[in-house]
Amino acid sequence: MRRYNSQADFFKEKYGVRLQKLVVDAGFTCPNRDGSKARGGCTFCDNNAFHPGYSTPDKSITQQLEEGIEFHQRRYRRAGGYLAYFQPYSNTYAPLEHLAAVYEEALSHPQVRGLVIGTRPDCVDESKLDYLQQLSREKIVMVEYGIESCYDTTLEHINRGHSWDEAVSAVQMTAGRGIATGAHFIFGLPGETRAMMLDSAEKINRLEIESVKFHQLQVIKGTKMEEEFSQHPERFETFALEDYIDFFVDFLERLRPDLVIERFAGEVPPRFVNSTPWGLVRNVEIIRMLEKRLEQRETFQGRLIAPKN
């Protein structure tokens, strides 16, 4: 058994098979990109760096799924089913009628068992969540909120456009309907110390989420964060690979043991960054490093959380 609660193990236990996500780009945008809240998006963001080449909005949902299945059948032959992962930008940021059309096109594919919907806390409402609740009675439905930080000062600094309280409220509304709910956070955002990042585990533990995804900050070419990093590197906590592994072990010890860890590090294609301080190490090798370090330190997820009486 792993010393942390991995998504691969969780899916196999809950659904009996390995489920592979297929990224789908349905052409959505974001409220802090289209001018309703702000323009330019989050200072770290370039969505082209985070999704595969087969996923482009000029293709239909069905075509993207077909190409994604073909791609993953070559790379991950153990998949027992697929989840349509609406990932780029905010995938609930449209009228309900449009959302229903794109979601239901994805679910009509015979090999797709459900949806994973990436969005923002300020892009859901009661009617959209009621609809997702209905879908979840027959299909797998997961909502993944990009929250990024537990600190309002950080969220404002990176032009996130929502607060921590808004994130908590969205999570409560979603989980309260029995919808599988997850969250995404970034380690290394400007102004946050390692102590602040470790302390954020306590806030995350109180969220009504089933799963959580962590990435180390990667400074993408052409973003506002690249400009800030070049002008004010002192604002950033950076991690060498071995250093990050030890940091994440420290964090895992503080994280409640039932939370499913979807990812704890990210991979961006080298063409999107000015340097690759970790080299070209793949995610599978980073997982091996984490598991080895947990064993060496004889520790595990949630070790520092006092048991409830």
Residues in the chain: 309
Q: Residues 6, 211: contact at Cβ < 8 Å?
A: no
User: What domains sit in the chain, N to C, each tagged with a CATH number?
Assistant: 7-296 (3.20.20)
Q: Using 50, 70 and 90 to split pLDDT, how confident is the model at 309?
A: low
Going by C-alpha positions, the residue among 48, 140, 53 that lies closest to residue 88 is: 48
User: What average pLDDT does the chain have?
Assistant: 92
Predicted confidence at residue 117, as pLDDT, reads 98
Measure Cα distances from 116 to 82, 90, 144, 145, 157 in Å: 10, 12, 7, 10, 28
17 C-beta neighbours (distance < 10 Å), count? 13
134 C-beta neighbours (distance < 10 Å), count? 12
Q: What region, left, alpha or beta, does residue 246 occupy, with left being phi > 0 and alpha being psi -120 to 50 degrees?
A: alpha
Q: Residue 189 contacts by C-beta under 8 Å, 6 or more apart in sequence?
A: 44, 148, 149, 154, 157, 158, 217
Chain segment 49-86, per-residue pLDDT in tens = 666 778 888 999 999 999 999 988 876 667 778 999 99
Predicted confidence at residue 298, as pLDDT, reads 97
Chain segment 105-153, per-residue pLDDT in tens = 999 999 999 999 999 999 999 999 999 999 999 999 999 999 999 999 9
- The pTM of the full predicted model, rounded to 2 decimals, is 0.94
